[in-house]
Chains A and B, each alone.
Chain A
Amino acid sequence: MKKNESYEEFIKGVWRDNPVFAQVLGMCPMLAVTNSAINAVAMGMATLFVLVGSSFLVSSFRNWIPKQVRISCFIIIIATFVTIADYTLLALVPKVHKELGAFIPLIVANCLILGRQEAFASRYPTRLAVMDAIGMATGFLVALLSLGIVREILGDGALFGVKLFSENFEPWVIMILPPGGFLTLGVILLFFNWFKFKKDEFLEDVAEAERSGS
């Protein structure tokens, strides 16, 4: 039972309530840093670290933080984790840090993170809050990565920096420019909504069949 509950919180973020495809949150990094798969992974991992860390702390201290100053406290906690992620990336992978630029400090302003603190971590026990954070962050990573992979393959003819095609391949430069982000995201959202629509239709059919059968 307990295991199922954790699993439910995890899978919710990855698929059903995916922060990008279902909730359309965190659009700023989503569009800005998905021009290559490696940038998407670095951004996703940084967000995962910040979200899990702050959800853990917020949930652990949820009974001590007065309601009146909760948002300020959440922001202090989030900003601390973002600074840690910023310096760590700068020390370990300076090249990736250079590519991501201002978008690492901007994780503070990612509404996905503050949203999870307010809506979930500050109301539920630590174990569930951490599972929820891991799920949401994984969902965000999956979304970033799917955009990053599509954009890098089409826009640069490569994946994780490895050239996939021969010299004759003419890259669609627009895919790694900002418009490419909107185009790819639009197509993926279209697919998700179509899938949801079809699923609802199918469930309705099943319900109707059951009713007429009984």
Chain B
Amino acid sequence: MTTDTIKQAAPPSSLRLVLTLAIAGLISGIAIIGIYESTLPTITANKARELREAVFKVLPGVSQMQALVYRDGELITVEKPDKDEPVIYGGYDEAYEFVGYAMPAAGPGFQDTIAILYGYKPGEKQVVGMEVLESRETPGLGDKIYKDAVWVGGFSALSVEPEIVAVKKGTKSKPNEIDAITGATISSKAVVRIINEAHTAWSDKLPPPDAEPPFQEIEPASTEAGQ
């Protein structure tokens, strides 16, 4: 029965099958390359703008920024950081005076990785701002780590010495304590832990206060980000 139907349908040659798929794949590949190339500039510009806005948000008073990496024992300015190389951002005011660092950090939250950016002033040893870049915390509970204005505002002058501690709401008494969010204890403690871990990892690598790398005008990065 089955052999009969196959005979009746006169199967096309294998070559034709292979050719059909090859042509379909070729056209598909060209279309994908086309759309990738044509959307890439917009996507890169969007990402650069987002990053810029986030850096300016966590470091009040900053109007210039540059990417910094740690190589051979010192913090240097780079035009294009290597892939997977940890990068922090130096923030500078209008007179190109150093203001503080914007440090990206990530770690496990309640649901998935939480990625944040926090502003750090080494002179005062203080966190001066925090912005959640990526999170999948529970809507209505864990998402308060970026929706709750009181919690986010708590990071505007938070001492990192000896380390940040999340305490029960209303019991904040020391400069290194922050009120955890009621109903989102795990998420708020996760944010605090991420900052503490990033601070420990970077504290040895940052130069002493007043020896921060000066602002260097790098044309390509600034024009791209300015779009």
| Chain A residues at the B interface, C-beta cutoff of 8 Å | 35, 64-69, 72-73, 76-77, 79-80, 83-84, 87-88, 90-92, 94, 98, 155-156, 171, 173, 176-177
Contact = CB atoms under 8 A, between A and B. Distances in A.
Contacts of B24: 72-73, 76-77
B138 A177 contact: yes
Contacts of A84: 31-32, 35
Contacts of A35: 139
Given A66-B12, A80-B32, A94-B50, A73 B140 contact: no
A69 B139 contact: no
A88 B140 contact: no
A173 B21 contact: no
Interface stretch (B39-47, B61-69, B101-109): B39-47
A77 B32 CA distance: 11
Contact of A88 (B25, B35, B141): B35
- State which size class the interface on B falls in: 20 to 34
A155 B139 contact: yes
Pick the 6 closest A-B CB pairs, nearest first.
Answer: A173-B140, A91-B39, A91-B42, A80-B28, A87-B39, A76-B24
A87 B138 contact: no
Contact of A65 (B9, B20, B141): B20
A90 B43 CA distance: 7
A69 B17 contact: yes
A88 B52 CA distance: 22
Interface string B29-40: 001100110010
A79 B28 contact: yes
| A contact patch SS | helix
B226 interface: no
B34 to A, nearest CB: 9
A137 B138 CA distance: 30
Contacts of A83: 31-32, 35
Contact of A66 (B17, B35, B36, B47): B17
Nearest to A36: B139
A90 B44 CA distance: 10
Nearest to B183: A173
Contacts of B174: none
B16 interface: yes
B11 interface: yes
B31 A80 contact: yes
Contact of B139 (A67, A88, A177): A177
Given A84-B35, A87-B36, A177-B139, A94 B17 contact: no
Contacts of B9: 67
Interface in B115-163: 134, 138-141
B35 to A, nearest CB: 5
A171 B138 CA distance: 14
Nearest to B134: A98
B139 A72 contact: no
Given A68-B11, A88-B35, A94 B20 contact: no
Contacts of B39: 87-88, 90-91
